[in-house]
Amino acid sequence: MARIIALQTHDIRFPTSRTLDGSDAMNPDPDYSASYVRLRTDAADGLEGHGFVFTIGRGNDVQVAALRALEGHLVGRDVAETLDDLGGVWRELVHDSQLRWLGPEKGIMHMAIGAAVNALWDLRAKRAGVPLWRLLSSLSPEQIVDLVDFRYLTDALTREEALTLLRSAEPSRAERESRLLSEGYPAYTTTPGWLGYDDDKLAKLCREAIAQGFTHIKLKVGADLDDDLRRLRIARDICGPDVKIAVDANQRWDVAEAIRWTKALEQFDVAWVEEPTSPDDVLAHAAIAKAVAPVPVATGEHVANRVVFKQLLQAGALSVLQLDATRVAGVNENIAILLLAAKFGVPVCPHAGGVGLCEAVQHLAMFDFVAVSGSLDGRVIEFVDHLHEHFVTPVEVRDGRYLAPTAPGAGTEMYPTSIAEYTHA
């Protein structure tokens, strides 16, 4: 009988602020970082579960301290029993009343639980010898809803409704799985659009994105309206009318400013306006969405938990749901969010980039296509070509599409050499 014998943590930071990769109106100088957790067992297979929280530098040590606070919940557990009841483990971690006080269900403690939960899923998928998206897509509707905590969701989605959704997608799962394996999943790229890049670099990167087969890009906006108008004109001129261009304000605006600014940018045929204001502000997003229609409003990478997503959907406040692999409490909570999005008929276009977010979130989007929403309409996964070389199973993006991963696991394992080289002193 194998047990979890160690929870190891690493404070990993990449000095990305030197090149202004990842610079936007709220985050001028991020150092892309990972609070990294490894679960080791005494099983003969030697497999480990890896997970992480993506952060942007300072405070990564605090996030690591939160991971360590979970040691008592995980070390010593029977591996097989634990992995067979990840719904139960999720509830135990999230409902630890003393730890819950530190959120509740938001911020550093909640993200730490997410990383630990994702590490458990990584281990389970490795032991099953399949990529996470296939593991999830092989579960029955009942097994899937058992992973979800419906507390605080039942006014929008009950267990029975979730089962009905999943059952209706079940007969055609195999068809979509083979389509994914042959065609991949659509991607869009944010690589051209960081605010710290000058106009020439923007133009060059737009041309490269098109040459690489992307039909959808995203530009950061929100620091200066004249700059934004000029940069959007450059991008639209290069891209022509058929490439989608989304804009991302990274929470810079209040309601009136968001409406005014979005209306000024609308002439460039904006695919969506992302994070117009505080991610906590359901009512503001609803007011903005109503005023800027038909421009779709997108948000999610900073949405703290399923309860806030539920409200954004109930209020008609978002048209594009941007799932994030490491903001909420891991795979289980993201399944709840996928189910909510399917119930409300809103497409999920995951946030990615950062450190390993592409590697992690692709599994959730592909599971959504196979077993939940059953659709690719209006759906794209963000892609940024950063830091993939540090991952054992890096994403493969070709002709603007994510290839379906085939290696066992959740995509969250970094090379030991990368961990060692970028561990923060």
Pairing of strands 270-274, 297-299: parallel
Q: Is 27 in the site for its own copies (CB under 8 A)?
A: yes
Short-list 367, 233, 382, CA closest to 322: 382
Q: Is 152 in the site for its own copies (CB under 8 A)?
A: yes
Q: State which of residues 7, 34, 47, 69 lies at the interface with its own copies (CB under 8 A).
A: 69
Specify whether 216 is catalytic.
no
Q: State which of residues 2, 8, 20, 31 lies at the interface with its own copies (CB under 8 A).
A: 31
Q: Positive or negative, the Cα torsion across 204, 208, 211, 215?
A: negative
Compare residues 253 and 369 and give the one whose CB is closer to its own copies. Answer: 253
Q: State which of residues 147, 157, 287, 395 lies at the interface with its own copies (CB under 8 A).
A: 287
Q: Candidates 84-92, 151-159, 189-197, 363-371 — which segment interacts with its own copies by CB under 8 A?
A: 151-159
Q: How far is the CB of 207 from its own copies (least distance, A)?
A: 30
Q: State which of residues 87, 107, 141, 316 lies at the interface with its own copies (CB under 8 A).
A: 107
Short-list 37, 69, 35, 71, CA closest to 53: 35
Q: How far is the CB of 375 from its own copies (least distance, A)?
A: 26
Pairing of strands 297-299, 244-248: unpaired
The Cα–Cα gap between 369 and 349 comes to 11
The Cα–Cα gap between 53 and 70 comes to 14
Catalytic residue among 106, 218, 351, 390: 351
Question: What are the CA-CA distances from residue 99 to residues 89, 215, 262, 291, 403 (Å)?
Answer: 14, 44, 40, 40, 38
Positions in 163-202 near its own copies (CB under 8 A): none
Q: Which secondary-structure segment (H or E) carries 227?
A: helix 225-239
Q: Candidates 83-91, 103-111, 115-123, 194-202 — which segment interacts with its own copies by CB under 8 A?
A: 103-111
The Cα–Cα gap between 414 and 9 comes to 13
Interacting residues of 59 by C-beta distance below 8 A, sequence separation 6+: 108
- Binding mask 267-286 toward its own copies (x if CB under 8 A, else -) reads ----------xxxxxxxx--
Q: How far is the CB of 394 from its own copies (least distance, A)?
A: 23
Half-sphere exposure of 314 (CA within 13 A, CB side): 13
Compare residues 56 and 125 and give the one whose CB is closer to its own copies. Answer: 56
Q: How far is the CB of 21 from its own copies (least distance, A)?
A: 15
Catalytic residue among 220, 363, 386, 390: 220
β-bridge mates for residue 216, sequence order: 244
Q: Candidates 1-9, 174-182, 247-255, 411-419 — which segment interacts with its own copies by CB under 8 A?
A: 247-255
DSSP for 317-355 reads --SEE---TTTSSHHHHHHHHHHHHHHHTPPB-----TT
Catalytic residues: 220, 351
Which residue ranges make up the site for its own copies (CB under 8 A)? 26-31, 55-59, 61-63, 65-66, 69, 96-111, 151-155, 251, 254-256, 277-284, 287, 302, 304-305, 307-308, 310-311, 314-315
